[in-house]
Amino acid sequence: MPEVMRHYILVDNNEQGMKLHRILDEDGVENRIAPVPQSIQGEYPCGMSVMIGDGLLDKAVASIGRHGAEYYKIVSVEVPFMPNRDRYC
């Protein structure tokens, strides 16, 4: 199964995550709310993250900086691409 790079913007709480999601949407950075990957769960204060695909990290970081959005940390993880699961409606 091929692997793809996903970037998870970890947040301290759900409110921070929803605000960050809205900011990225407004700036046209494709993103979605996602659980923190199992490989890094337990190390962070909140189980929610904002996930962005490969190639969008620079755009997302610029958007975060422009708006002064708060976040805990950005973690990049290679995950298997699952065609039946990785579809967006």
**pLDDT tens, residue by residue, 32-50:** 999 887 777 666 667 889 9
- Give domain status of residue 2, yes or no: no
Kind and range of the H or E run holding 77: strand 73-80
Q: How many domains does the chain have?
A: 1
- Give domain status of residue 65, yes or no: yes
Contacts of 19 (CB under 8 A, 6+ apart): 69, 70
- Give domain status of residue 39, yes or no: yes
Q: Which of 49-53, 67-71, 77-81 has the lowest mean pLDDT?
A: 77-81
- Give domain status of residue 22, yes or no: yes
CATH number where 72 lies = 3.30.70.1530
Range of the domain at 47: 9-78
- Give domain status of residue 83, yes or no: no
pTM metric for this prediction: 0.82
Give the pLDDT mean for 10-27.
Answer: 95
